[in-house]
Structure 1
């Protein structure tokens, strides 16, 4: 009997100046995307701030709700989706992820790519990603195709519009039942 396996997509709004700036342009409620491998969100990855106090230094991050950027923004709002995947697809995603983990110092935040999305023109550099591009890339390399566009054009709001994702929570991040009692 095959067990059901999920990955989780977390979209957030921390309310930071950077987020407010992006929100003005996108008019989307959430502007940061992460991928998690458990519903408690203890194994979660993205591209964002390497140091919670420094919005300039960005890159590949293993996000920690209680010590990372989110800990500085307790009023963060979010939406959490789950995607049913096969064990084989999880294996492929973990292989892709291991490349990021082993080379994390080499990866940079793709700020130019964020601008490229607004022009509908993918701007890609090796070793450089923005949050939703990274999540879409991990899924894409595992053979999960959710859109007919390049990962470099995927926005956090594209996840929100994707029918294959199942909404499991929306509200204040720290009110999410799976982490509330930690």
Structure 2
């Protein structure tokens, strides 16, 4: 079975994401990463409470619940080596085990709007986290500082291919488990 890493870009339609979308003029404003073909293990930096966008940090997301129920999405995948997927797994599990040490980089998110690089230790916004995982694990070598990477930059990554674009709930409803366990391959773009 091939190893794949998935980038999930979403627009949940919340007030906070509408403000970001108004500024960026891009369709997606949140980025997550998964190395699980079933997309049951999805990771990002985002809100810890559905009701408060300002309290955030490392999160394991349930893309079938909460804010994701009505989300639009674009899902991209990239084939990776066994070593790369092991690195991704270790990197994310290390952060997950120490998630109390990490926080959401709200200041860095606002710095992106003025193209100002702000490095904060143990603080990420969603696309910064995804970009960091991809770079640290040898999957993508970004040309811009990771603290300036946006969901749109991830969408433009040449080694990732689009596998689905549309309503996230519809994607989840239409995928059927295959014999090899790879749900993504059964989805219609």
TM-score scaled by length of structure 2: 0.87
2:70 match: secondary structure: coil
**Are 1:38 and 2:36 an aligned pair?**
yes
Q: Is the 8 A contact 1:13 1:77 kept in 2?
A: yes
- After TM superposition, the structure 1 = structure 2 runs for residues 90-101 of structure 1, keeping only pairs within 5 Å, are 90-101=85-96
Instruction: Detail structure 1 runs of 4+ shifted over 6 Å in the superposition.
Output: none
Measured against aligned partners, the alpha-carbon deviations of 1:137-165 in whole angstroms (never above 9, x if no partner) come to: 01111112242112111100011122211
Offset of 1:68 from its aligned partner? 4.5
Listed as ranges, the gaps of 5+ residues in structure 1 are none
Measured against aligned partners, the alpha-carbon deviations of 1:94-120 in whole angstroms (never above 9, x if no partner) come to: 121122111111211101111222222
**Are 1:111 and 2:109 an aligned pair?**
no
Listed as ranges, the gaps of 5+ residues in structure 2 are 178-189
Aligned length: 177
Q: Is the 8 A contact 2:64 2:169 kept in 1?
A: no
Alignment partner of 1:170 out of 165, 179, 185: 165
Please provide the CA RMSD for this pair. 1.8
1:176 match: secondary structure: helix
Offset of 1:4 from its aligned partner? 1.9
